[in-house]
Amino acid sequence: MKNLKLKTARVEKDLSQEELAKHVGVSRQTIGLIELGKYNPSLKLCVAICKTLSKTLDDLFWEE
């Protein structure tokens, strides 16, 4: 399942996949795969992404 919430939050912060990846210490491909729903990130990575985007885990990773 695609993570459109993550992509939306990233775009709202005016960050490219590459820039977000640098902030959290992963490759651009990793961010792309998370957004496509093809990679299940660790909790540590989820928290780093949330801190960078000023969002909560619920905001970005909780499925309804």
Radius of gyration of the chain (CA): 10
Res 63: pLDDT: 80
Indicate yes or no: pTM above 0.85.
yes
The DSSP output letter for 14 is T
Write down all domains in the chain, each with its CATH number in brackets.
Answer: 4-61 (1.10.260.40)
Question: Mean pLDDT per 10-residue run, the chain (64 residues)?
Answer: 94 98 98 96 97 97 84
CA distance 26 to 18: 9
Res 23: pLDDT: 97
Res 64: pLDDT: 73
